[in-house]
């Protein structure tokens, strides 16, 4: 929009800016609000006066709160972290990952960034504020009631880190398998003009439209009794699939396949067929052409599709709640369980804290991958 | 591409789908025409149950399933044809309601009540999602490069948030004197109970769905906007086209494939509306087709579940989605013919 | 939270986990349990874990998983947690074992009231009971010079006075959430009218005078409830109490403890317990119990170990450590002021919840069907007729009736 002819009148620019600000407020409010709630005592969290929720008088009376100093420093750390993540991380990854392992580089980096942030925020920051508080006088006095005890309850007492690890296993498994299987299929479908390919896509589309609860209910008896019906094939070692993350991964990959192959197919359709045709003329097989010619250029589309797989696996409730037992549950059913059982109000605030915790990795993910998503979509991962 | 090579590329994906989608689907289809039930006997049983201070013992006739020698429940399966579908559709009651011409009577039959809401939900949210998505995409595109990154990030939040959590947070915000209800009460200066009548709940559910999905539409449209041909826009400006004309004649046609893609995904997802019904505790007022299926399927506390009716209602849901998708499938078929 | 505290707390839990304290014996057999997830189960399974080699699964979906998991051979779990209603599918499928020998060997201390027997076989060991009873704001009733209501009609009259005086937001609270909760409200009311839900042939018997009267009473109650009553469950009613928004409710006894919790309640000491209000025939309440069962598809050694571990879980020590987590049936429990209402309700003749296969279906169709009457879409006769029709369809599909 550099051309003079396209410059917009000031009124339009202001209106557009105002609407955008309003949208951002609407988009962020619920999440911001439950984040605030998660730091309050139950009395404050469910108070009907918004100011009481924000400033938390009952929480402050209970002896825990934040001073201006702590708030300023905390915001500074968050800001710097966000800025570093968005600005520096993509270039770092690009320059340090060995060729072909960019995806792995991203995973490692994302984990490192998360750990570094937690260390800086919960480890370094308190030490600094403890040192500074006596020096700044009134600025060091608590003004906002806030407590992190609910997070402590969630992560330490309730063993939420266990659920977190399970979520990571399931999500990582789903994303990796879903993408490897889906990339091959998407490429095959994009390059084959046959009617069969068309019908596969149509059937996949109908599969995409199925109500999941019906499919999933059918799995339970089969998975619980798998040791019996697998024993003729596998003998003594036949596993009980119920409660195994691997089984959940397989189911989620399957449920996710229709969307994955549709997205990747349209992405591959936009890579000129001449590219791999040329390689084929040079005597490569289809697989070799795929590996040498397509793989290097497919990452934008794969990352975008992978993000959708990630969201599906990470956010899934139906499959994980039914097929995993409590000892290897992922985070979403664990949180739903905190709500559904006979709860006290404190339990509810604890669940709010858990809900905020589960959103944090999604934050990080989107922050890191934001540009890749847009560029992947722009490069044609969706063309209908 | 040779068939064998094609099979090698597509095989793993097809196998997964066959195993975990097509196969269960077949059993759903089969179950919708058959009824499997335990064989019961009625016997006199003396049972003692815990009272507050002392036991209460009763002797009464109890119905219990017969067990075979292996200790398994004896079950019989019977082909019932379309009976299960009749039980779900309750056509005779629908006929009565139609002849009496009473809309309320139709709305008292579960399936038709659910169908009414499901279709309305789908058709109302569809244009809103596309419209808001397009609007947000253009606003973002309009914003200065500096703030675009953060704005996209914030815009994506409603989409990435875990649906279960999203529905729950709506509860905290709106139930009783939740903070947003309190705000609305202050703003409208009247007492509100948003969960006390059907239409407010329906409205909230739709607002929530649009809030949740519009960012997905927006990010896709935004990506599409990056590839609009700047030359054609500039020549349109030189020709004196207004902003509205440029939008209608250049930008929308350019985005059309994306709009169809978003519409298709949204149709499929919103026709399966379910989380909202549970999350908003709307069961007393409005229900959806997938909720109905889920309710049939969910075992009651004594372990009974209506597998046959759940299967039938699932098949009916599928047929509904297939009908909604026909226009789209036609277009895909044309494209397919064209590219060949 | 400070990072150091996290580390400290983590270390502490590690130490606590390593010690197998307070268990009378060392369990050598690998055991697993599947129970619901509420506070009492947490207390009991924590106590079981002290014996070692024990994994507890506290799962809200247990109702869905338990029948399948116990039917597997070998059973996926050794110990199950059930209530009177969720015992039925296990009992029907024969996947839980009679405990007579084990009770004789290791359960001599159990009270007779804890032994759930079917035709002389002990099938489950109850650990706690629960029922609904009246909770009221003593200060409000005193302020308005009202007696504590003893019958349901008196309760409604008192509610009218409270509404008139406009001292609280809503006079009554009720667990009217569409689905199971609403079904339970009708069950209590219908039991209080002396009704039986199904006859010996499993045919429904709710479309009668008693059914109509029960429906009308429920409707009369809704006048005094928060208008969002079709979305309000026990936790919500409890919160309304805690925030001083309601004056009375006929609520689960297990919720009584929360009223006096200074952490979350603004009405500490003001909420008192009394017997559930009387209906024409019985108190508007039903008695439930929770307890343990042992799977049949496991070896006898495993069953023996499982039973011993379970006995450790439901012993006097657990009760002493968690006296307010439930109304325990276990020896050593001393009912406090909060349990008085539950006891009085039982003394007045509250009926046990009539759990059976047919009742499972009935409860579901009631929970789904009554909302239409309460929000005015149907009249009472049509509602009951439709509910009976829905029951017939489900019961036929389940094979309970021809």
Q: Give the pLDDT confidence score for residue C136 in this predicted structure.
A: 92
**Angle at CA of residue C151, ends C150 and C156, nearest 5°:** 110
As a whole number, mean pLDDT of residues C79-101 equals 90
CA distance C118 to A341: 29
Q: Give the pLDDT confidence score for residue A52 in this predicted structure.
A: 76
Same domain, C239 and C160: yes
As a whole number, mean pLDDT of residues A313-325 equals 82
SS3 C38: coil
Which of A49, A321, A339, A342 to mutate: most C Cβ within 10 Å? A342
C75 to chain B: which residues are within 8 Å by CB? none
Structure tokens at A269: 């359709």
- How confident is residue C316, by pLDDT bands cut at 50, 70 and 90? confident
The 10s digit of each residue's pLDDT in B297-306 is: 888 888 788 8
pLDDT at B245 over 90: no
Q: Give the pLDDT confidence score for residue B20 in this predicted structure.
A: 85
- Greater model confidence, B278 or C275: C275
CA distance B196 to C278: 29
Burial class of A95 by CB neighbour count within 10 A (0 to 12, 13 to 18, 19+): exposed
- How confident is residue A99, by pLDDT bands cut at 50, 70 and 90? low
Same domain, C137 and C224: yes
In percent, how much of chain A has pLDDT > 70? 87
Considering the domain boundaries, does residue C164 fall inside one?
yes
Same domain, C234 and C106: no
SS3 C260: coil
Q: Give the pLDDT confidence score for residue A41 in this predicted structure.
A: 78
- How confident is residue C186, by pLDDT bands cut at 50, 70 and 90? very high
pLDDT at C173 over 70: yes
As a whole number, mean pLDDT of residues C182-192 equals 93
As a whole number, mean pLDDT of residues B299-314 equals 84
**Angle at CA of residue A263, ends B221 and B166, nearest 5°:** 65
DSSP tag of B268:
H
- Closest residue in A to C11 (Cα) is A156
pLDDT at C19 over 60: no
CA distance B235 to B221: 23
Burial class of B250 by CB neighbour count within 10 A (0 to 12, 13 to 18, 19+): middle
SS3 A362: helix
In percent, how much of chain B has pLDDT > 70? 98
A210·B21 Cβ contact <8 A: yes
Considering the domain boundaries, does residue C102 fall inside one?
yes
Q: Does domain B103-339 have CATH number 3.90.1170.40?
A: no
Q: Give the pLDDT confidence score for residue C157 in this predicted structure.
A: 92
Q: Give the pLDDT confidence score for residue C384 in this predicted structure.
A: 92
A43 close to B (CB below 8 A): no
Q: Give the pLDDT confidence score for residue A98 in this predicted structure.
A: 63
- How confident is residue C222, by pLDDT bands cut at 50, 70 and 90? very high
The 10s digit of each residue's pLDDT in C101-133 is: 999 988 888 888 888 888 888 999 999 988 899
In percent, how much of chain A has pLDDT > 90? 1
A225 to chain C: which residues are within 8 Å by CB? 68, 72
CA distance B62 to A56: 57
Lowest mean pLDDT among A371-375, B250-254, C136-140: A371-375
Contacts with C185 (C-beta within 8 Å, 6 or more apart), sequence order: C174, C175, C176, C218
Domains annotated on chain A, with CATH: 40-147 (no CATH), 160-381 (1.10.3720.10)
C73 to chain A: which residues are within 8 Å by CB? 228
Same domain, C156 and C275: yes
Q: Give the pLDDT confidence score for residue B176 in this predicted structure.
A: 67
As a whole number, mean pLDDT of residues C144-149 equals 89
CA distance C257 to A60: 25
Q: What is the mean pLDDT of chain C?
A: 86
How crowded is the C-beta side of A377, counted as CA atoms within 13 Å? 23
CATH number (domain holding residue C150): 3.40.190.10
Lowest mean pLDDT among A39-43, B76-80, C103-107, C275-279: A39-43
pLDDT at A36 over 90: no
Same domain, C159 and C273: yes
SS3 B140: helix
**Element of type H or E holding C397:** helix C380-398
As a whole number, mean pLDDT of residues C8-19 equals 43
- Greater model confidence, C5 or A188: A188
CA distance A285 to B5: 9
- How confident is residue C193, by pLDDT bands cut at 50, 70 and 90? very high
Q: What is the mean pLDDT of chain B?
A: 83
Count other Cβ atoms within 10 Å, centred on residue B5. 15
Q: Which residue has the tokens 């449920």?
A: A255
As a whole number, mean pLDDT of residues C209-228 equals 91
Instruction: Please say whether the dihedral angle defined by the alpha carbons of residues A305, A310, A316 and A319, taken in this order, is positive or negative.
Output: positive
Residues B194, A345: contact at Cβ < 8 Å?
no
CA distance C256 to C338: 6
Q: What is the ipTM of this complex?
A: 0.83
To 10 degrees, what angle do helices A299-315 and A245-269 make?
Answer: 150
Q: Which of A53-62, A301-310, C216-225 has the highest mean pLDDT?
A: C216-225
In percent, how much of chain B has pLDDT > 90? 7
pLDDT at B225 over 60: yes
C132 close to A (CB below 8 A): no
- How confident is residue C284, by pLDDT bands cut at 50, 70 and 90? very high
C114 to chain B: which residues are within 8 Å by CB? 50
Residues A183, A302: contact at Cβ < 8 Å?
yes
B54·C364 Cβ contact <8 A: no
Q: Give the pLDDT confidence score for residue B58 in this predicted structure.
A: 82
Nearest to C117 among B47, B51, B61 (CB): B47
Q: Give the pLDDT confidence score for residue C248 in this predicted structure.
A: 92
- Greater model confidence, A300 or C287: C287
Q: Give the pLDDT confidence score for residue A139 in this predicted structure.
A: 66
CA distance A357 to B161: 11
- Greater model confidence, A382 or C269: C269
Q: Give the pLDDT confidence score for residue A97 in this predicted structure.
A: 65
pLDDT at B249 over 90: no
Q: Give the pLDDT confidence score for residue C61 in this predicted structure.
A: 74
CA distance A266 to B216: 18
Q: Give the pLDDT confidence score for residue A290 in this predicted structure.
A: 77
Candidates C79, C90, C28, C25; CA nearest to C57 is C79
To 10 degrees, what angle do helices C380-398 and B307-339 make?
Answer: 80
Instruction: Write out the DSSP string of C164-212.
Output: HHT-SSEEEE----TTHHHHHHHHHHHHHTT--SB-TT--B--SSHHHH
pLDDT at B94 over 90: no
Q: Give the pLDDT confidence score for residue C16 in this predicted structure.
A: 42
Q: How many domains does chain C have?
A: 2
Same domain, C170 and C72: no
> Which residues 171-190 of B are in CB contact (within 8 Å) with C?
175-176
Beta bridge partners of C346: none
Q: Which of A85-94, B228-237, C3-12, C186-195 has the highest mean pLDDT?
A: C186-195
Interface size, chain B vs chain C, as Cβ–Cβ contacts under 8 Å: 187
The 10s digit of each residue's pLDDT in A140-179 is: 666 677 777 778 777 877 778 888 888 888 998 999 999 8
CA distance C62 to B25: 25
- How confident is residue A103, by pLDDT bands cut at 50, 70 and 90? low
CA distance A333 to A339: 10
In percent, how much of chain C has pLDDT > 70? 95
As a whole number, mean pLDDT of residues C219-233 equals 89
The 10s digit of each residue's pLDDT in A202-253 is: 888 888 877 777 777 777 777 777 777 777 777 667 777 777 888 888 888 9
The 10s digit of each residue's pLDDT in B32-52 is: 888 888 888 888 888 888 777
Considering the domain boundaries, does residue C175 fall inside one?
yes
Residue A156 has φ and ψ, to the nearest 5°, of -95, -60
Q: Which residues of C212-249 are buried (b: 16+ CB within 10 A; e: fewer)?
A: bbbbebbeebbebbbebbbbbbbbbbbbbbbbbbbbbb
pLDDT at A358 over 50: yes
Contacts with A300 (C-beta within 8 Å, 6 or more apart), sequence order: A372, A375, A376, A379, A381
CA distance C285 to C274: 12
Lowest mean pLDDT among A120-124, B85-89, C13-17, C185-189: C13-17
Burial class of C28 by CB neighbour count within 10 A (0 to 12, 13 to 18, 19+): exposed
Structure tokens at A219: 């799995």
- Greater model confidence, C345 or B56: C345
CA distance readout (Å), B262 to A14, A56, B129, B162: 29, 42, 9, 20
Burial class of A128 by CB neighbour count within 10 A (0 to 12, 13 to 18, 19+): middle
Candidates C219, C193, C221; CA nearest to C134 is C221
Task: Give the N- to C-terminal CA distance of chain C in Å, as an integer.
Answer: 63
CA distance C309 to C27: 7
Same domain, C96 and C230: no
CA distance A88 to A86: 6
C253 close to A (CB below 8 A): no
Instruction: Write out the DSSP string of C265-326.
Output: -SSTTTEEEEPPPB-SSSBS-EEEEEEEEEBSSS-HHHHHHHHHHHHHHTSHHHHHH-TTSS
Same domain, C89 and C171: no
Torsion of CA C240, C246, C248, C249, to 10 degrees: -30
Same domain, C230 and C325: no
SS3 A144: strand
Considering the domain boundaries, does residue C13 fall inside one?
no
A200·B226 Cβ contact <8 A: no
Domain that holds residue C199: 132-284+356-398
Residues C360, C172: contact at Cβ < 8 Å?
no
- How confident is residue A285, by pLDDT bands cut at 50, 70 and 90? confident
Beta bridge partners of B40: B65
Same domain, C108 and C147: no
CA distance B91 to B85: 9
């Amino acid at each position: 929009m550099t051309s003079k002819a396209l410059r917009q009148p000031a009124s339009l620019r202001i209106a557009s800016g105002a609407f955008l600000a309003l949208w951002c407020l609407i988009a962020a409010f619920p999440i911001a609000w439950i984040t605030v709630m998660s730091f309050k005592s139950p009395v404050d969290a469910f108070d009907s006066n918004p100011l009481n929720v924000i400033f938390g008088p009952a929480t402050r009376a209970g002896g825990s709160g934040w001073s201006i100093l702590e708030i300023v420093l905390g915001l500074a750390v968050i800001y710097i972290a966000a800025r570093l993540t968005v600005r520096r991380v993509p270039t770092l990854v690009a320059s340090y990952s060995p060729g072909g392992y960019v995806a792995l580089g991203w995973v490692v980096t994302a984990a490192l960034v998360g750990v570094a942030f937690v260390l800086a925020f919960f480890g370094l920051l308190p030490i600094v504020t403890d040192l500074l508080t006596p020096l700044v006088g009134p600025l060091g006095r608590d003004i906002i009631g806030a407590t992190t005890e609910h997070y402590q309850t969630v992560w330490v007492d309730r063993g939420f880190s266990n659920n977190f690890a399970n979520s990571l296993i399931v999500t990582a498994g789903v994303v990796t398998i879903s993408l490897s299987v889906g990339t091959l299929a998407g490429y095959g479908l994009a390059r084959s003009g046959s009617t069969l390919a068309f019908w596969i896509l149509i059937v996949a589309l109908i599969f995409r439209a199925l109500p999941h609860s019906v499919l999933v209910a059918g799995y339970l008896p089969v998975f619980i009794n798998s040791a019996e019906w697998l024993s003729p094939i596998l003998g003594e070692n036949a596993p009980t699939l119920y409660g195994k993350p691997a089984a959940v991964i397989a189911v989620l990959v399957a449920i996710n396949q229709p969307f994955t192959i549709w997205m990747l197919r349209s992405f591959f359709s936009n890579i000129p067929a001449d590219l791999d045709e040329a390689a084929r003329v040079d005597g490569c097989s289809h697989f070799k052409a795929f590996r040498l010619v397509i793989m290097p250029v497919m990452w934008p589309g794969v990352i975008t599709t992978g993000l959708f797989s990630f969201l599906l696996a990470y956010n899934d409730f139906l499959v994980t709640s039914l097929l995993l037992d409590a000892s290897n549950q992922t985070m979403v059913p664990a949180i739903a369980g905190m709500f559904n059982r006979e709860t006290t109000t404190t339990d509810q605030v604890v669940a709010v804290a858990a809900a905020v915790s589960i959103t944090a990795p999604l934050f990080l993910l989107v922050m890191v991958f934001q540009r890749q998503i847009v560029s992947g979509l722009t490069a044609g991962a969706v063309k209908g | 591409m040779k068939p064998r090579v094609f099979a090698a590329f597509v095989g793993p994906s097809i196998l997964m789908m066959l195993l975990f989608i097509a196969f269960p689907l077949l059993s759903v289809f089969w179950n919708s025409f058959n009824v499997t039930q335990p064989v019961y006997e009625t016997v006199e049983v003396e049972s003692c149950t815990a009272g507050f201070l002392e036991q209460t013992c009763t002797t009464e006739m109890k119905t219990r399933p017969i067990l075979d020698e292996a200790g398994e429940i004896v079950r019989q399966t019977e082909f019932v044809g379309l009976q299960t579908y009749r039980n779900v559709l309750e056509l005779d009651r629908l006929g009565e309601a139609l002849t009496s011409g009473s809309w309320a009577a139709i709305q008292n039959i579960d399936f038709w009540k659910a169908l009414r809401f499901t279709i309305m939900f789908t058709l109302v949210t569809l244009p809103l999602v596309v419209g808001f998505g397009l609007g947000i995409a253009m606003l973002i595109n309009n914003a200065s490069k500096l703030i675009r990154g953060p704005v996209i990030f914030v815009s994506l939040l409603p989409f990435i948030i875990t649906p279960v959590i999203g529905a729950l947070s709506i509860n905290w915000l709106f139930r009783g004197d939740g903070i947003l209800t309190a705000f609305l009460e202050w703003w409208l200066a009247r007492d509100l109970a948003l969960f006390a009548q059907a239409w407010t709940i329906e409205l909230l559910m739709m607002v929530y769905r649009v809030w949740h999905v519009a960012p997905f539409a927006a990010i896709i449209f935004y990506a599409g906007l990056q590839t609009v041909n700047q030359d054609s826009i500039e020549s349109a400006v030189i020709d004196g086209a207004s902003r509205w004309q440029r939008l209608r004649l250049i930008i929308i046609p350019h985005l059309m494939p994306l709009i169809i893609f978003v519409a298709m995904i949204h149709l499929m997802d919103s026709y399966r509306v379910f989380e909202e019904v549970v999350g908003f505790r709307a069961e007393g007022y409005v229900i959806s087709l997938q909720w109905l299926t889920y309710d049939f399927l969910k075992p009651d506390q004594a372990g009974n579940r209506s597998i046959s009716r759940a299967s039938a209602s699932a098949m009916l849901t599928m047929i509904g989605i297939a009908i909604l998708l026909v226009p789209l499938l036609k277009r895909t078929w044309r494209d397919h013919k064209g590219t060949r | 939270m400070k990072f150091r505290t996290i580390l400290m707390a983590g270390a502490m839990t590690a130490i606590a986990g390593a010690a197998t304290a307070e268990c009378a014996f060392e369990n050598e057999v690998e055991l697993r349990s599947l129970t619901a997830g509420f506070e009492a189960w947490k207390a009991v399974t924590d106590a079981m874990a002290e014996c070692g080699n024990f994994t507890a699964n506290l799962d809200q979906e247990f109702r869905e998983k338990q029948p399948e998991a116990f039917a597997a051979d070998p059973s996926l779990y050794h110990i199950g947690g059930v209530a009177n209603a969720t015992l039925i599918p296990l009992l029907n499928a024969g996947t839980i074992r009679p405990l007579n020998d084990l009770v004789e060997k290791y359960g001599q201390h159990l009270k007779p009231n804890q032994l759930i027997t079917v035709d002389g076989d002990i099938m489950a060991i109850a650990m706690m009971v629960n029922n609904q009873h009246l909770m009221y704001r003593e200060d409000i009733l005193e302020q308005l010079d009202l007696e504590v209501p003893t019958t349901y009609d008196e309760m409604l009259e008192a509610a009218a006075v409270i509404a008139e005086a406009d001292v609280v937001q809503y006079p009554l609270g009720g667990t009217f959430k569409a689905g199971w909760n609403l079904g339970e409200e009708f069950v209590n009311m219908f039991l209080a009218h002396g009704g039986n839900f199904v006859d010996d042939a499993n045919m429904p018997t709710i479309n009668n005078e008693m059914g109509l009267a029960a429906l009308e009473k429920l409707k009369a109650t809704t006048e005094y409830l928060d208008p969002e009553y079709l979305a309000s469950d026990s936790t919500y009613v409890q919160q309304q109490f805690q925030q001083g928004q309601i004056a009375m409710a006929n609520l689960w006894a297990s919720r009584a403890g929360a009223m006096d919790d200074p952490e979350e309640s603004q009405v500490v000491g003001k909420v008192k317990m009394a017997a559930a209000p009387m209906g024409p025939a019985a108190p508007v309440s039903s008695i439930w119990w929770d307890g343990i069962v042992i799977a049949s598809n496991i070896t006898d050694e495993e069953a023996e170990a499982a039973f011993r571990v379970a006995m450790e879980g439901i012993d006097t020590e657990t009760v002493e450590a968690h006296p307010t987590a439930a109304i325990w049936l276990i020896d050593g429990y001393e009912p406090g002021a909060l349990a008085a209402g539950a006891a009085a309700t039982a003394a007045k003749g509250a009926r046990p919840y009539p759990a059976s296969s047919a009742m499972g279906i009935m409860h579901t169709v009631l929970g789904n069907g009554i909302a239409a009457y309460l929000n005015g879409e149907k009249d009472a006769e049509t509602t009951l007729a439709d509910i009976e029709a829905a029951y017939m369809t489900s019961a036929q599909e389940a094979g309970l009736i021809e």
